[in-house]
Structure 1
Amino acid sequence: MSPTDAVTGARERMQHAKSAARTVGLLSTQRKSDMLNAVAARLEADTDRIVEANAADLQRGRDTGLSEALQDRLRLDPVRVAALAAAVREVAELPDPVGRVLEERRLENGLSLTKVAVPFGVVGSIYEARPNVTVDIAALALRSGNAVVLRGGSAAENSNRALIASMRAA
């Protein structure tokens, strides 16, 4: 892929995220909770596929001399996938930050001033060989009414693709 193609592709992903942010920001608390619970269930259902994709990343890591510590961070097994699903369910139970009143006061001129939490719109994250971060950030972004653009490290490419496919399928 040429640098121009990469920039064009990134620009298209950003535009898609911006469009999605308009929709996600308007979702009800219940709808976001339902979506997060569906993501958790789908991760559990896709555990074998996720672990298989992760095995390919681990093998590539061993072949390229990835340290044991980084391999451990990269590793997904059925127990870790179950923990990811449980974490997503915990996010589904968090209070919805959107619309929360952060501050209210009356100004000297009699006007009422209210500061209310709203979504950012699009959140971007760049991270390395931690496929769990893919799920964590996506879940938190959805709960807070934001779209997200993720860029995981190449060491977790197969794992991230499998996790994202599961989340999208939910």
Structure 2
Amino acid sequence: MARTDSTTEDLVEAPRGFRGQLAHRTGLGIVVLILVAGLAGFLGPRTSTETASAGGWRLTVEHASVTRAGQPAPLHLRVEHPDGFTTPVQIDLCDNLFDHLDFQNWYPNPSAETSSPGRLLYEFDPPSGPVLEVSLDARAAPGQWGGYEHCRATVLVDDAPVVGVEFGVRVVP
């Protein structure tokens, strides 16, 4: 005689209710939406460019607008003046941006740097010609769980501001 020791043979599978179907479809829709956003590049690193002009000066800031921990977070500044540069060029930046970056190096290196509460001031020797280009090699620091940093870059000549640009960097987990 065959003996059955199954504890499930008398159970009847209950049909899914409306709420169960709705929760299943909603969850599946969210997963598909995240997948499509990732494939379209909306969740990965992105850069943006901000430009401002004033009094014959032009400042262009190319920056990481969205990045992740350990990913590149480039910062490229281009200062233009049609008459060229006769004195050192100072670039004033917020220091909170650097709290979230793994700072590598400036190209070219500044000839001087100072700080004040909330600000960093970098001084660059005057270039030959009407354009000064400065690049920061940086990555979003490891262990960042997200956040948004608003920053302002301002060009100063003889300690006087001549043009500034506001920008923001979002670090996503």
Tell me the TM-score normalized by structure 2.
0.24
Counting helix residues as a fraction of each chain, which structure ranks higher?
1
- Which structure is higher in strand share? 2
TM-score (norm 1): 0.25
Query: Which of 1 and 2 has higher RCO (CA within 8 Å, sep 6+)?
Result: 1
Bigger radius of gyration among the two = 2
